[in-house]
Amino acid sequence: MFMRISHFLSLGFLFICVSCNNATPTASSAKKADKGPVNSKLSGAGTGKLMAVVTNYYGLKNALVASDAIKAGETSTQLQIAVDSMSVFLKGDTINKAAFQPYLDTVMMQSKTISGIQDLTCEKQRLAFSSLSAAIYTMLKNAELKNGGVYKQYCPMAFNDKGAFWLSDVSEIKNPYFGKKMLECGEVQDSL
């Protein structure tokens, strides 16, 4: 009798675990929706341009996670287009232009560096990506981004234990500085 109850409880626990695992995407989507809309001190259109930069940044980050130098070059070109669009938008926003343009200039310069590098190991691209990540994070903090679903993640072992961070749209660690070598090395430090 005890074995039947134990077996029944084990099956029940397994069912709950599987059910929770299947519900994860819905649960995380619902969590994001509960926080409210993405906003910043920029106008709605400005926040949209800012998030377009971030979305293109994620494409570059994902290419480096995959250690795909060609894709990193392509996505950095897409990032340049998003940065240019935001720069054009800021020409009409004299209040915020001075505060954001230096970071956009850094992102543009580093993304051009990444797209121009011919390095199949991605190591040189990753160096430029580190500076690019710092500029985008500072820009997001200055914009006072809220509900953006942006996670600042940090790997203490990057660049010979000097450490480096990156931004992600998920809390799960996927390290762009090591790719498959140490994919899960890192921790979440902040969220915006």
The pLDDT assigned to 119 comes to 85
The pLDDT assigned to 179 comes to 85
pLDDT in tens, 58-88: 999 999 999 999 999 999 999 999 999 999 9
Partners of 48 in the beta sheet? none
Q: Map out the domains of the chain as residue ranges.
A: 43-191
The pLDDT assigned to 29 comes to 33
Helix (H) or strand (E) segment spanning residue 70: helix 69-90
User: Are 141 and 192 contacting, i.e. CB atoms less than 8 angstroms apart?
Assistant: yes
Q: What is the mean pLDDT of residues 41-70?
A: 96
- Collapse the DSSP code of 154 into the 3-class scheme (helix H, G, I; strand E, B; otherwise coil) and give the result: strand
The pLDDT assigned to 2 comes to 42
Percent of the chain with pLDDT over 90: 76
* Helices 44-65 + 94-116 axis angle, to 10: 20
Judged against a pLDDT cut of 70, whether residue 185 lies above it is answered with yes
Judged against a pLDDT cut of 90, whether residue 25 lies above it is answered with no
Judged against a pLDDT cut of 90, whether residue 30 lies above it is answered with no
Judged against a pLDDT cut of 60, whether residue 157 lies above it is answered with yes
- Of 31-35, 112-116, 177-181, least confident by mean pLDDT is 31-35
- Of 18-22, 61-65, 119-123, 152-156, least confident by mean pLDDT is 18-22
The pLDDT assigned to 94 comes to 86
Burial of 44 (0-12, 13-18, 19+ CB in 10 A): exposed
* pLDDT interval class at 118 (50, 70, 90): confident
